[in-house]
């Protein structure tokens, strides 16, 4: 029962035996105002479950209900079920469906709009709707409690129509100052700090968020990724173990173990875990998409282009079905990208890009979802810097760039300018732009592009320094490695050999051969050439 009393509320619940009608327990909580009703319900629920015999440990481990404002109990139930779907079952598609039902029930449910926007962002689908939902939640912010409002405002400045990192961080900091135990505030502020490479600030916030509620996945994900990038493998493994104990039904610990396997170079374990995940959850669409994307990146790292295209096609099909109108264009660009980068056939790549755009014109895709950066980079690599320049201008004038987070926006702009400068043999400009192209948590991800510019400018020492820092660092990610890792080892072998450093040359040729040992037949001549060079440098090595 809920009774209004003197501006506040009294909540009570009775536990009655179904057999005898005997009262087994009575519990009561008070709430000063509407914003305290949900926490009061959580306290009552735990007291009730303890009375009926659940262990104290299990009751204490139960996550508290989110503090969200809605006039509809049915909408709140949908919202709560959506959280359970993603955090316990790792079923983000089901979570999305439940949130859609929640806002259909209560069209003023600001936090449901916000969470649905977050869900679309995490799935990387329907970017235009993600922005619209962030705007809708923001428009309803005056109806919210202070904590809800800070969360909503922060998300609006993170993923709304005109992102502003400083304003987003300020809102999250205000939320944490208001309530240091607000899970979303602590976790999301950690995410923001991490994206700005303030790792020393991010780690304690994630640890705190994990202590606030160990049944929620985000802090585990953040800590594991952070530890992997810093080479703290044992700590990453320990966090995964803790997550598995606290989220026994979730597939997320297995995903993190897969990521850890990649980071340590254990590709066979990565494949085994991926196969087990597919068998365990054959109907989890978002999980299957994640697995296919991950396997496609691994295939590219290993020079298995046909396998990579097969996985990529699965990802593109699923993304198109999920609401990404640019997915068909991206599918058409996959082969031309390989033609220029792996096969060195610029003319064929150019024909493929033109054909993909003829079949899927950019102006038929919502501006915020047009893959300007990818297309511009591909045109530059195919030798058409003039088209790349035009696309960069369109990116700025169409509103596409304005909808991207500021650091990413600038990082991608510098990347495009670097690729254009390389195509036009303006290597000093390319060096400057490439070095400015880094963004996000990965510190070394822009190194290979800058190294390429130094290499082409004839500065072998700087190229070696940047490539070695990239290949030797744990701070690497597979979506960069899929393009650069094997070619970087191969080029380091050549550069060290030219300098007469046979030991380091042999080491990098050996690593290149290991990566591409099972590469497609069309790439095997490069592997054979590396084996021949290795045999000359290290006579104990013999071509297999």
Q: What is the mean pLDDT of the chain?
A: 92
CA dihedral 54, 59, 62, 65 (to 10 degrees): 100
Q: What is the structure's pLDDT at 68?
A: 86
pLDDT tens-digit profile of 272-316?
Answer: 999 999 999 999 999 999 999 999 999 999 999 999 999 999 999
Lookup result for tokens 């990404």: 324
Lookup result for tokens 């400009």: 429
pLDDT tens-digit profile of 410-455?
Answer: 999 999 999 999 999 999 999 999 999 999 999 999 999 999 999 9
| C-alpha closest to that of 138 among 157, 164, 123, 122 | 157
Q: What is the structure's pLDDT at 302?
A: 98
Q: What are the structure tokens assigned to 459, written together? A: 């500065």
Q: What are the structure tokens assigned to 205, written together? A: 């916030």
pLDDT band at 14; cut points 50, 70, 90: confident
| C-alpha closest to that of 379 among 356, 360, 402 | 356
Asked if 491 and 506 count as a contact pair (C-beta separation under 8 A), the reply is no
Give the count of beta carbons closer than 10 Å to the beta carbon of residue 126.
22
Average pLDDT over residues 347-363: 98
Q: What is the structure's pLDDT at 41?
A: 76
Q: What is the structure's pLDDT at 18?
A: 43
Is 0.95 surpassed by the pTM of this model?
no
3-state secondary structure 163-186: CCHHHHHHHHHHHHHHCCCCHHHH
Average pLDDT over residues 190-195: 97
DSSP SS3 for 474 = coil
pLDDT band at 73; cut points 50, 70, 90: confident
CA dist 67 and 1 (Å) reads 19
pLDDT tens-digit profile of 80-124?
Answer: 999 989 888 889 999 999 999 999 999 999 999 999 999 999 999
Strands of 2-5's sheet, edge to edge? 2-5, 8-16, 23-31
Asked if 392 and 376 count as a contact pair (C-beta separation under 8 A), the reply is yes
> What backbone phi and psi angles, to 5 degrees, belong to 16?
-120, 135
Q: How much of the chain, in percent, has pLDDT values that exceed 70?
A: 91
Q: Which range has the top average pLDDT, 82-86, 124-128, 358-362?
A: 358-362
Q: What are the structure tokens assigned to 35, written together? A: 């914003």
Average pLDDT over residues 329-335: 98
Q: Across the chain, how many H-helices and E-strands are there? A: 27, 3
Asked if 109 and 137 count as a contact pair (C-beta separation under 8 A), the reply is no
CA dist 219 and 213 (Å) reads 9
Q: Phi-psi region for residue 541, left (φ > 0), alpha (ψ -120 to 50) or beta?
A: beta
Q: What is the structure's pLDDT at 109?
A: 96
CA dist 345 and 338 (Å) reads 9
Report which of residues 35 and 526 the model is more confident about: 526
pLDDT greater than 90 at residue 538 = no
Average pLDDT over residues 228-256: 96
Q: What is the structure's pLDDT at 60?
A: 45
Average pLDDT over residues 69-82: 91
pLDDT tens-digit profile of 463-488?
Answer: 999 999 999 999 999 999 999 999 99
Lookup result for tokens 């990818």: 374
Sign of CA dihedral 135, 140, 142, 147: negative
pLDDT greater than 90 at residue 321 = yes
């Amino acid at each position: 029962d809920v009774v209004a009393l003197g501006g506040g509320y009294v909540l009570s619940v009775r536990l009655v035996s179904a057999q005898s009608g005997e009262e087994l327990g009575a519990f009561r909580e008070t709430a000063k105002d509407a914003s305290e009703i949900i926490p009061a319900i959580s306290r009552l629920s735990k007291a009730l479950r303890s009375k009926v015999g659940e262990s104290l440990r299990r009751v204490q481990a139960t996550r508290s209900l989110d503090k969200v404002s809605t006039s509809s109990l049915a909408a709140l139930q949908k919202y709560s079920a959506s959280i359970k779907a993603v955090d316990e079952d790792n079923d983000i598609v089901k979570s999305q469906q439940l949130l859609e039902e929640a806002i259909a029930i209560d069209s003023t449910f600001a936090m449901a709009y916000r969470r649905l926007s977050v869900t679309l962002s995490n799935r990387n689908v329907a970017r235009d709707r993600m922005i619209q939902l962030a705007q809708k939640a923001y428009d309803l912010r005056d109806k919210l409690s202070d904590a809800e409002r800070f969360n909503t405002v922060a998300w609006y400045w993170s993923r709304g129509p005109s992102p502003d990192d400083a304003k987003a961080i300020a809102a999250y900091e205000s939320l944490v100052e208001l309530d240091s135990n607000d899970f979303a505030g602590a976790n999301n502020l950690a995410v923001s700090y991490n994206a700005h490479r303030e790792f020393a600030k991010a780690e304690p916030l994630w640890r705190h968020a994990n202590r606030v509620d160990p049944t929620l996945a985000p802090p585990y994900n953040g800590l594991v990724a952070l530890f992997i990038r810093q080479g703290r493998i044992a700590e990453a493994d320990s966090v995964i173990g803790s997550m598995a104990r606290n989220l026994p039904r979730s597939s997320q610990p297995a995903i993190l173990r897969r990521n850890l396997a990649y980071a340590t170079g254990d590709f066979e374990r990565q494949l085994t875990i991926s196969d087990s995940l597919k068998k365990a959850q054959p109907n989890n669409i978002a999980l299957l998409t994640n697995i296919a994307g991950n396997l496609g990146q691994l295939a590219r790292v290993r020079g298995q282009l046909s396998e990579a295209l097969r996985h990529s096609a699965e990802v593109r099909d699923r993304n198109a079905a999920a609401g990404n109108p640019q997915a068909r264009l991206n599918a058409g660009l996959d082969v031309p990208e390989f033609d220029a980068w792996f096969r060195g056939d610029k003319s064929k790549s150019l024909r493929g890009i033109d054909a993909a755009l003829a079949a899927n014109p950019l102006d038929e895709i919502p501006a915020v979802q047009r893959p300007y950066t990818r297309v511009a980079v591909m045109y530059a690599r195919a030798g058409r810097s003039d088209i790349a320049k035009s696309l960069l201008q369109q990116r700025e004038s169409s509103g596409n760039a304005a909808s991207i987070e500021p650091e990413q926006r600038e990082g991608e702009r510098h990347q495009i300018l670097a690729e254009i400068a390389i195509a036009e043999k303006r290597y000093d400009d390319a060096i400057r732009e490439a070095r400015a192209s880094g963004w996000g948590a990965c510190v070394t991800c822009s190194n290979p592009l800058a190294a390429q510019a130094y290499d082409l400018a004839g500065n072998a020492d700087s190229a070696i320094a940047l490539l070695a820092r990239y290949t030797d660092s744990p701070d690497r990610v597979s979506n960069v490695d899929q393009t650069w890792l094997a070619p970087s080892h191969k080029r380091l072998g050549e550069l060290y050999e030219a300098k007469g450093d046979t030991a380091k040359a042999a080491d990098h040729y050996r690593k290149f051969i290991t990566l591409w040992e099972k590469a497609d037949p069309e790439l095997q001549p490069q592997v054979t050439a590396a084996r021949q060079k290795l045999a000359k440098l290290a006579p104990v090595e013999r071509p297999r």
